[in-house]
Amino acid sequence: MLKKSGLMLTCAGALVFVGVLVAAGCGGGGPNTPPVSALSTAAQFAALLPSPQKAATKVGATACKPCHATDCTSQALTRHSQVSVDCESCHGPGSVHAAKPALTNILRGIDSTNPIVCAQCHSDVVNDFKKSMHAQVVTSAISSSSATCMRCHSDPFRTLNVESPLAHGQTPAQVDAAIVAIPAATLQTYPPATHASVACAGCHDPHQNTANLTSDKEQFYLRAATSSTDLSSDPPAATPAQYTTINHICGSCHNNRGGDPSDQGLGTGTSRPAVHEGPEYNFLNGNGGAEGITTTGGSIYASGTTAPAQRTSAHVAVPDQCVTCHMPNSRHTFTVSLDTSCAPCHTATDAAARENTIQTQIQNGMAALRARMANWAATVGAGGFKDSTGIAWEYSGNIPATVVVPKTPTWQSQIPIEIKRARHNYYLLLLDRSYGVHNFVYAQYLLNQSNVGLDKYVSRSVSIPSSRAAVKAQLAADYEKAKMSHATE
């Protein structure tokens, strides 16, 4: 299923490669060489070097060993080392630094996390990566220099303060404590230096073989495991941890950030959806929805509600989970292609047909649930308050200023729990954005549970937008509202 990408070698590396790799030669031209100037990558790498290092020359890997024994010993065991990718390939020439060690004369820190370091040889992977959303940043999440947001939204912050310490044997608790102690002035250096949400060294350990192999037993130096069906780290109603300990390369960021779906949790967080963008990990594993649980962390179901008979669809067991569908042939755009992502289980035609059927069903189901909540708001309302536009079911932060409603905690506290569960599940489905593909079973369960709850107040007879396009437009508008509400948290 995997395909090795071609490698581009540059003059700057001055490395001796064996076999076919040599054929690529200086200046590119090998069959796998993408149309990118080797010189320009080399020039960009040279530009990263701090000024005292610009005149330095190579001294060889053994020169680093007396002072950096740990990194040298572990790096020597890698495939990189076998093909002469050594310390200076990534940190630049070391003569000046080895003669007079200092932090100012070697490529390090934020600059070492730049994808240009890897682009010297992996230019095709980097080119794909640059097309991905991961190569972009969510400005609102990093502009405040909040360590909480930067854990997932700033590649240099995460790589240097979360992933590297973990790779050096620190525990999540130690990582958390160290992050809390970072001075404000240091935190402020990350936003201007952050050009990616997550980049190469955020997912790949540059110094060692790791224990996290792919399902094909490939050693790709992965920081975390690619697959996990272990639900114990985030049961329904789990409280948010500062640093998530989910050992899953995608799940460590694409999770619901601890948004509490218990009835108690839904009663307190009423200004915006409790779940963060991208709860796909939880959704795939069948948790994170409002199931009528009345005790935080417990499993006591409220009257009229039951646990799902089954939480997951067949997709929880797709080898490598997210990676198989979002990185077909190890492609680093992180986008799905129905012909390659879904093989060998579905043909492209079968996958497209199934996706269309499921997404139509779930999107229409969401539109109907939304219409029922709007009918409740317009005809029943909280504490007798009705709003003719049907918006009073919403989180207070999602209600436009033009709508005159008593946006007080008292009013939110009068919204019945059945509405709160339904709106939580509506937004969870919306933020997952696969509309049933990730986990049809759980999507269906949450819609059913929500509808049963609403039966107490409103009839099931509703009208939804008349076309598929109109349904999608309504969902897209609500998705924008959710994003805006998280941008200002």
Binders of ligand HEC among 49-68, rule CB under 6 A?
59, 63-64, 66-68
Cα-Cα end-to-end distance for the chain: 42
Which of left, alpha, beta for 188 (phi over 0: left; psi -120 to 50: alpha)? Answer: alpha
How near is the Cβ of 4 to ligand HEC at its closest, in Å?
Answer: 5
How near is the Cβ of 164 to ligand HEC at its closest, in Å?
Answer: 4
Which 153-182 residues touch ligand HEC, going by CB under 6 A?
153, 158-160, 164
Stretch that binds ligand HEC, among 192-200, 368-376, 413-421, 459-467 (CB under 6 A): 192-200
Please check whether residue 92 is in contact with residue 53, taking contact to mean a CB–CB distance below 8 angstroms. yes
Complex with ligand HEC: residue 134 or 424, whichever CB lies closer: 134
Whole-angstrom Cα distance, residue 279 to residue 474? 20
Stretch that binds ligand HEC, among 102-110, 173-181, 259-267, 400-408 (CB under 6 A): 102-110
Which 425-444 residues touch ligand HEC, going by CB under 6 A?
433-434, 437-438, 440
Whole-angstrom Cα distance, residue 385 to residue 406? 8
Complex with ligand HEC: residue 100 or 460, whichever CB lies closer: 100
Length of the chain counted residue by residue: 489
Residues β-bridged to residue 204: 222
User: For residue 63, what is the DSSP state?
Assistant: G
**246 binds ligand HEC, rule: CB under 6 A:** no
Which 311-330 residues touch ligand HEC, going by CB under 6 A?
313-315, 318, 320-327, 330
* Non-local CB neighbours of 268 within 8 Å, separated by 6+ positions: none
Task: Tell me the site size for ligand HEC, rule CB under 6 A.
Answer: 127
Residue type at 61 in one-letter notation: A
Inter-residue long-range contacts of 34-40, CB under 8 Å, 24+ positions, other chains counted: 34/6, 34/8, 34/123, 34/124, 34/127, 36/8, 36/123, 36/127, 38/8, 38/9, 38/10, 38/11, 39/10, 39/11
User: Which residue has the CB atom at the shortest distance from ligand HEC?
Assistant: 94
**87 binds ligand HEC, rule: CB under 6 A:** yes
Complex with ligand HEC: residue 115 or 292, whichever CB lies closer: 115
Residues β-bridged to residue 301: 293
Q: What does the per-residue mask of binding to ligand HEC show for 273-312, with x meaning CB under 6 A?
A: ---xxx-xx--x----------------------------
3-state secondary structure of 293: strand
Which 371-390 residues touch ligand HEC, going by CB under 6 A?
none
How near is the Cβ of 122 to ligand HEC at its closest, in Å?
Answer: 4
Complex with ligand HEC: residue 434 or 449, whichever CB lies closer: 434
Q: What does the per-residue mask of binding to ligand HEC show for 3-32, with x meaning CB under 6 A?
A: -xx-x-----x-x-----------------
Whole-angstrom Cα distance, residue 462 to residue 69? 69
Encoded tokens for 28: 């590119």
How near is the Cβ of 469 to ligand HEC at its closest, in Å?
Answer: 15
How near is the Cβ of 460 to ligand HEC at its closest, in Å?
Answer: 24
